[in-house]
A and B are shown apart, each in its own frame.
Chain A
């Protein structure tokens, strides 16, 4: 992974870490992405704590250090604790997480690892536990999380480690 950023940040002045980053070089995309992202986080049907678990599972598997160490304030407000986050590792199936939370992570892993190979039993469990609207919400959220974590990796300049950072939704 390149330790040097491949693109300079945008000129800044927006007071928003996303718009002032390299992503700000293509404002037309951000103008559509940011309101969609806010809607995905804020307008259910899955709550921000559930979405944050999916985002962090994706971040760990993509190895995006920025994403891995960010913590959305709205997820914390929705009840997600650091103790729960620590359980989103490769042994999550044996953790204290709920059945519903484990299924969210299983769906995430399937998207990341083998999207054509979802077992009939996992499909049945997902359909039994979640509404169609929840599964589509989960899919769209994961698509956005994965897109922007891979984006951060591809742009280079990723440090090996970062402290935990509480972040808010971009504006």
Chain B
């Protein structure tokens, strides 16, 4: 439960500012309809950020369905045969982005561009920013006691 207004969900927190909520929801909804990068790939990256933050609430959230076997194998994506080359490139980028965006290598960026082009890389980076931020707000607002947390 959020300490700032007893809200239990992100929507309940944002409902305190209805004139922003609609705009934010529209921005977030756009991520799942981009032509530059598949929504399923973005969902895998969002879930990986949740794992890296040890945030149970964001891990349990489902923005769109992905195969259960892929969800189960996500933590071991580098050695799993369930992820294609493009997904692996994005997950590798996601991990380093989450830890420190200054540490991203040109090779990691090139691997994403090889899969989805320059616009795909920009779309991925923008989406990761929102996923990263929303995960941290979930934790900061205290929306779940099972968000154990990591430092940046």
| Residues of chain A at the chain B interface (Cβ within 8 Å) | 1-2, 4, 6-8, 22-23, 25-26, 28-29, 31-33, 35-36, 39-40, 43, 62-63, 110-118, 123, 126-127, 132-133, 135-137, 139-140, 142-144, 146-148, 150-151, 153-156
Contacts and interface: CB of A to CB of B under 8 A. Distances in A.
Q: Is the interface of A mostly helix, strand, loop or mixed?
A: helix
Contact of A23 (B20, B31, B126): B126
A7 B109 CA distance: 9
B36 A26 contact: yes
A140 B122 contact: no
- Most B CB contacts (10 A, CB to CB) among A22, A40, A116, A153 go to A116
A114 B149 contact: yes
B133 interface: yes
Nearest to B33: A28
A150 B125 CA distance: 8
B86 to A, nearest CB: 17
Contacts of B50: none
Contact of B152 (A113, A137, A142): A113
A136 B17 contact: yes
Contacts of B136: 111, 115
Contacts, number: 151
A151 to B, nearest CB: 5
Given A35-B23, A140-B20, A154-B101, A117 B130 contact: no
A148 B133 CA distance: 11
Contacts of A139: 13, 137, 140-141
B69 to A, nearest CB: 30
A91 B132 CA distance: 27
A146 B151 CA distance: 15
Given A63-B102, A110-B140, A156-B109, A7 B20 contact: no
A154 B128 CA distance: 10
A75 B122 CA distance: 28
A4 B109 CA distance: 12
Interface string B50-91: 000000000000000000000000000000000000000000
16 contacts: A7-B118, A7-B122, A22-B122, A23-B122, A28-B34, A28-B35, A116-B147, A116-B148, A117-B149, A118-B142, A135-B4, A140-B24, A147-B133, A150-B125, A151-B126, A151-B129
Nearest to B131: A147
B134 interface: yes
A32 B34 CA distance: 12
